[in-house]
Chain A
């Protein structure tokens, strides 16, 4: 049982960083939703704000690291042009072959069914929309840190931070789900 260098980076990008962001979302949302002066004591609000501030910044950093590792480390292996203009390197294969048929070559050559949409729609959407998540997450973290305990009494701003946080999660979820499905069809080996 072993993992190649490329598979290891794929796991760091998707399973560690990306999944951490998506899984932490529920906790952050619940804490921010519950941050109301009429629901918590002053002491409780202080503790909630400390957890939210640290948690939101950690999530924002995780989102940046996810897109940076994805774009600059894993994506070049996905998009390598190995099979030739006619896709000859992918002829007869069932999955991408390192050095011969990259995942993008494999998907666009349609050698294993109608797979080109996984690239033209799936990967094209994932590789772009993913970069919105860290910007939204950083903005949400900044708003939480800026207002601090005032958020408990400023419902409009709290709802704004929640909306941004949900937007960050939604864009990350689109990228994450598409990434998982594309990896199932055409793994980076």
Chain B
């Protein structure tokens, strides 16, 4: 039975993150921001709202969500390949991801995006 405790574990491990997981984090933030952006733009402009109606039964939600999902997976793939052999300071990646996710969550909250109507 092994019950080893490394000093690194005590300190929480290295303060760096590998490229691919960093890419996945930033991609989640980008997906959230793209969703929030199109939700707000659709509210602000009837032209954009109409353009986002890629499916008549689903309405503008179809365009908003497809674009957000495409942005998420595209960012995941592109950044993941670009950063595959790199490491980053965890704090920097975390800060960027938190800002992007916060913006995404904020602009999908009705009192915020409906203020642009």
Interface residues of A (CB under 8 A from B): 36-38, 41-42, 67, 71-72, 75-76, 79, 120-121, 124-125, 127-129, 131-132, 135-136, 138-139, 142-143, 146-147, 152-160, 164, 167, 171
Contacts and interface: CB of A to CB of B under 8 A. Distances in A.
Main secondary structure of the interface of B (DSSP, over half): helix
A56 B104 CA distance: 23
Given A128-B35, A157-B17, A120 B25 contact: no
A153 B6 contact: yes
Contacts, number: 113
B15 to A, nearest CB: 6
Most chain B beta carbons < 10 A, residue from A72, A76, A125, A139: A139
A175 B105 CA distance: 13
Contacts of B114: 120, 124
Given A76-B58, A143-B24, A156-B90, A132 B105 contact: yes
A142 B21 contact: yes
B31 A129 contact: no
Interface in B1-30: 1-6, 8-9, 11-15, 17-18, 20-21, 24-25, 27-28
Nearest to A158: B13
B94 interface: yes
B69 to A, nearest CB: 7
Contact of B25 (A41, A131, A139): A139
Contact of B12 (A42, A67, A132, A155): A155
B13 A153 contact: yes
Q: When A and B form their complex, which 7 residue pairs have the shortest distance between CB atoms, in order from nearest?
A: A154-B13, A155-B12, A76-B57, A128-B108, A38-B5, A139-B28, A156-B12
